[in-house]
Amino acid sequence: MKLKINGTEHELDVDTRTSLLDACRDHLGLTGSKKGCDHGQCGACTMLVNGRRINSCLTLAVMHEGDEITTIEGLGDPGNLHPMQEAFLHHDGFQCGYCTPGQIVSAVGMLGEVSDGWPSHATADVKDGASLSQGEIRERMSGNLCRCSAYPNIVDAIETASAKMKETA
Amino acid sequence: MNEHVMNQPIGETRLDRNTQGVIGKGVDRYEGKLKVSGKAPYAYEHLIGEKVAYGFVVPGPVGRAKVRSIDTSRAMAEPGVLAVVTGDGLPRSSAQPMSPAGQTMDGEIFHYNQPVALVVAESFEIARHASHLVKVDYEEIEGRYEIESRRGTGRATDAGPMAADTKRGDFEKAFAAAEVQFDQTYRTPSYHSAAMEPHTSVAKWDGDQLTVWSSCQLLETNVQQIASGVGVDVSKVRLLSPYIGGGFGSKLGIGPDAVLAALGAREAGRPVKLALTRQNVFQTTSRRGETIQRVRIGATKDGKITCFAHETETPNSEGEGFFEPSGISSVFLYAGADRLVTHRVITSDVLMCSAVRAPGEATGMLATESALDELAVRFGIDPVEFRRMNEPDKDPQQDVPFSSRKLLECIETGAKRFGWADRPKTPGSRREGEWLIGYGMASASRANSLMQSSAEIEMTPDGRATVKTAMTDIGTGTYTILQQIAAEMLGMPLDQVDVLLGDTSLPSSSGSGGSWGANSAGSSVYVAAEAVIEEFAKRLGVEADALTLKDGHAISGNRQIPFSEILNGDTIRVVGTIKPGDTSDKTNQASYGAHYAEVAVNATTGETRVRRLLTVGAAGRILNEKTATSQCYGGQIWGIGYALEEDLVVDARNGLIVNHDLAEYHVPVHADVPKLDVVLLEERDRHASPLAGKGIGELAIAGVGAAINNAIYNATGARIREYPVTMDKLLPHLPEDVGAAA
């Protein structure tokens, strides 16, 4: 089958039981997305599929032929960081770094949801759409666990990156 | 051999002079760009592109049993299965920290879901499927799965992280004679580290040489544990842990994956990758034992503590001597002439108990800092004032001076910053609509220790430096602070200094645990840097003290010589070693802090929200203000978890850890955490290490849950002595007039 990841087509032969996450980690050498629970409980494996964030451990690779998949490697690399990666670095939005790719990809996906006007549990009035308050960020990022507990710095990083991304948009 | 033994307090150092200006600064993490881009390779992410096999653990199906036989024939018949490893030598669980070897199964199941076999196959999916085809025939044995009904049956062990008993004077006599007697029992549940990276190993044999990439905190003892488990000499094993996805104590000893992967690779004749499943991690690594803690405090009628007793009962499994040392800070934190601290281990047939972040303080201070609050309330004294009244002027157990102690300064700074004076003076008196508002505070302390550690500094002809040590960075910021120490000592810009960690082929190190890593490994870099400076001085024909080093230049008199010129084409390699010495015995060393919490408790539902949380800490020299603050956030948030959420539930009927995943074992998430406040006071502890620093990684978790619980009392008038403080425990105590609040 073929998977289009970070703009590149990959030809691969996988078991029908192989998750999208394991296809990347075990078959394509894309190990940036992490496996923390394999049950969609921690968010460390978050990827963007057609722009929408998903837990890649909860979906099978064979379901994604033709999809546009973005992993942490597709956002930026050490020499050319995405504004979200840059902000995580400067705000110390991580410690051990294991949940970090998932947090960053999730944050990028989340900003897209907010700009599309999707409400959340923390949205005061769904008619008005959502603004990017700290409460909104916390609510929308709660699917991404961080046991080192970098949460306060992650929230600050997302605010900084969001402002920067708006500037350059 | 360049060695520094900490027998005397350290004088002024190049770190104090701060010529390069990088020590203490909140610079970005050295390895940060790799981590944010997914390019930092964790244990599983090695041998990319090589032909490897995948392992999957077969968990034992009952709590306690003798294994009659294991039938592997159906699994072996499955296409793609390469090996099924069984045998008495399989690890039961993780190894205890710094033990020579982990315990083995020896034909028995000692706890529910203990590994009984490992399936190795061409793919993860095949191995997982085949693991269900392994049939275990066993004879069940009646197990002991809870400690409440067996109180008083515990044993005193000498294999714990501190002495089981610490006594001074005659506590019972003093307590009987005390004008005011306080006697309460507190309970903390079992906890799990729940690091985000599961315990994972990749093992590869080249002839009789074994290389293991694993997620480990203490490489020097971990490599020995692997060698013992596999049955080879330690000289044949190389262990690498360049990046570790969190440890929190659970990776101090090797996980069962390390030995299983090595055995599997030997049998399959191919490198094996084995990542424990999240369920395995909960059920087959280690946990923090639940505690029952009796706290007795005698005092004069005006509030002076005269005697202090803290007695802990906690489980561990057969053959294990480790205990949760809940009384560790009770030995010295508050005044009182007669003292008694004891720990008893009740044998249980549940997963091994071991170290989790801040063993002792994390559970003990949930009890004692609540007790202090209860006593202050009973006396009608401000909890801040009550602590001031009972501040000892020296270690009340051993009569030695404190190396440095800023507990009261932390408490006072915190009180002012938090607005403690504005607290509700009567419990349940402040209300905002349906929310009851309360303030609480608690002290923090964390015992400090220095361990032997070595590091090499290599100076290359271009004037660059590389720090090399088998130290680990478990997210604590080790890469970064070692870079900063080397750069400050040698007078170099940060980008001229590289750091290599996590490989047993490098000089052996203390590893990361007990908040000793920065001080120990950092001091070894300090010693190595001093030796480099000596060499520079020798080459320049001057005294080392006369050299000022800055921006890669040595400045002596009116000469300014670039390092590349001093090196003159040579590469210099020096190893420095730090060893603990007399200052550890002659002083009591600990980091201190104070926590202040504001909570809102829903008057109808009992839901508790932490609104504000402030921690003021003093831990000697802070090596990187940013990473140290992040460590404190982590401690505070663990405190939120311990106060309100975390509770590892064991089924008392069969020993199953019921909530064995991240959906059911509730750790704090983004939505549980408000904006936090951390203040680190300026301090130098010259007895602690050449860096004049003390441990910080575990300080902030000590006592913070009690501050939250004390705030809940202040909000509601309900005193809950069984953690976590969940809605079901609060509901019976909430005000009757809930209707009026709506």
Closest Cβ–Cβ partner in A36, A143, A150 for B633: A150
| Contact flag B37-A95 (C-beta cutoff 8 Å) | no
Task: Determine the pLDDT at residue B742.
Answer: 42
Distance of CA A74 to the CA centre of its chain: 11
Task: Name the band, by pLDDT with cuts 50, 70 and 90, for residue A124.
Answer: confident
Render pLDDT for B583-615 as a digit per residue (tens, 0 to 9). Answer: 999 999 999 999 999 999 999 999 999 999 999
Domains with residue ranges and CATH for chain A: 2-75 (3.10.20.30), 83-168 (1.10.150.120)
- Burial classification of residue B640, based on how many CB atoms lie within 10 Å of its CB (0-12 exposed, 13-18 middle, 19 or more buried): buried
pLDDT at B740 over 60: no
Render pLDDT for B680-693 as a digit per residue (tens, 0 to 9). Answer: 999 999 999 999 99
- Separation CA B601–CA B727 (nearest Å): 9
| Nearest residue on chain B to A95, alpha-carbon basis | B475
Contacts of B28 in chain A (CB under 8 A): 89-90, 92
Q: Does A13 touch chain B (CB under 8 A)?
A: no
Contacts of B477 in chain A (CB under 8 A): 95
Distances, alpha carbon B303 to alpha carbons A7, B60, B297, B371, B407, in Å: 70, 54, 11, 13, 19
Contacts of A20 in chain B (CB under 8 A): none
| Nearest residue on chain A to B53, alpha-carbon basis | A26
Q: Does A41 touch chain B (CB under 8 A)?
A: yes
pLDDT at B526 over 90: yes
Answer yes or no: is the ipTM higher than 0.95. yes
Task: Determine the pLDDT at residue B87.
Answer: 97
Average confidence score pLDDT of chain B:
97
- The two beta strands, B305-316 and B237-240, are unpaired
Out of 3.40.50.720, 3.90.1150.10, 3.40.50.1220, 3.30.365.10, select the CATH number for domain B51-142+196-246+251-284: 3.30.365.10
**Closest listed residue to residue B70, CA positions, set B108, B33, B39, B35:** B108
Task: Determine the pLDDT at residue A127.
Answer: 81
- Residue A164: partners with Cβ closer than 8 Å, 6 or more residues away: A83, A86, A87
**CATH 3.30.365.10-classified regions of chain B:** 2-38+451-580, 51-142+196-246+251-284, 359-365+377-449+586-741
Our CA-based measurement puts residue A127 at a distance from the nearest CA of chain B, in whole angstroms, of: 23
pLDDT at B540 over 80: yes
Task: Determine the pLDDT at residue B735.
Answer: 83
**Closest listed residue to residue B641, CA positions, set B192, B76, B182:** B192
Task: Determine the pLDDT at residue A126.
Answer: 83
Contacts of B35 in chain A (CB under 8 A): 94, 97, 100
Render pLDDT for B271-309 as a digit per residue (tens, 0 to 9). Answer: 999 999 999 999 999 999 999 999 999 999 999 999 999
Return left, alpha or beta for B87; rule: phi > 0 is left, psi -120 to 50 is alpha, else beta: left
Task: Determine the pLDDT at residue B741.
Answer: 45
Do the Cβ atoms of B364 and B329 come closer than 8 Å? Answer: yes
**Predicted model pTM:** 0.97
Interface of B with A in 210-239 (CB under 8 A): none
Task: Determine the pLDDT at residue A125.
Answer: 85
Mutate to test the interface with A, among B29, B36, B213 (most CBs of A within 10 A): B36
- Separation CA B340–CA B330 (nearest Å): 9
CATH 3.30.365.10 fits B2-38+451-580, yes or no: yes
Q: Does B475 touch chain A (CB under 8 A)?
A: yes
Render pLDDT for B200-226 as a digit per residue (tens, 0 to 9). Answer: 999 999 999 999 999 999 999 999 999
| Nearest residue on chain A to B35, alpha-carbon basis | A97
Mutate to test the interface with A, among B196, B243, B614, B676 (most CBs of A within 10 A): B196
Closest Cβ–Cβ partner in B38, B243, B676 for A101: B38
CATH number of B359-365+377-449+586-741: 3.30.365.10
Q: What is the 3-state secondary structure (H, E, C) of B144-167?
A: CCCCHHHCCCCECCCCCCCCCEEE
Q: Angle A151-168/A100-115 helices, nearest 10 degrees?
A: 50
Eight-class DSSP state of B255: P
Q: Does A133 touch chain B (CB under 8 A)?
A: no
Render pLDDT for A41-99 as a digit per residue (tens, 0 to 9). Answer: 999 999 999 999 999 999 999 999 999 999 999 999 999 999 999 999 999 999 999 99
Contacts of B275 in chain A (CB under 8 A): 35
Helix (H) or strand (E) holding A103: helix A100-115
Map residue B442 onto helix, strand or coil. strand
Cis peptide before B674 (omega within 30 of 0): no
- Separation CA A160–CA A168 (nearest Å): 13
pLDDT at A141 over 80: yes
- The two beta strands, B272-275 and B435-447, are unpaired
- Sign of torsion over alpha carbons B63, B217, B588, B7: positive
Closest Cβ–Cβ partner in B36, B196, B661 for A147: B196
Question: What percentage of residues in chain A have a pLDDT greater than 70?
Answer: 100
Task: Determine the pLDDT at residue B737.
Answer: 63
Measured from the Cβ of residue A117, the count of other Cβ atoms closer than 10 Å reads 11
- Residue A85: partners with Cβ closer than 8 Å, 6 or more residues away: A75, A76, A104, B33, B36, B37
Closest Cβ–Cβ partner in A31, A96, A101 for B41: A31
Closest Cβ–Cβ partner in B33, B125, B247 for A17: B125
- Separation CA B374–CA B387 (nearest Å): 12
Task: Determine the pLDDT at residue B237.
Answer: 98
| Nearest residue on chain B to A81, alpha-carbon basis | B37
Residues of B acting as catalytic residues:
698
Q: Does A90 touch chain B (CB under 8 A)?
A: yes
The neighbouring-strand residues paired with B288 are B191
Task: Determine the pLDDT at residue B290.
Answer: 98
- Sign of torsion over alpha carbons B353, B701, B668, A160: negative
Render pLDDT for B549-573 as a digit per residue (tens, 0 to 9). Answer: 999 999 999 999 999 999 999 999 9
Render pLDDT for B243-275 as a digit per residue (tens, 0 to 9). Answer: 999 999 999 999 999 999 999 999 999 999 999
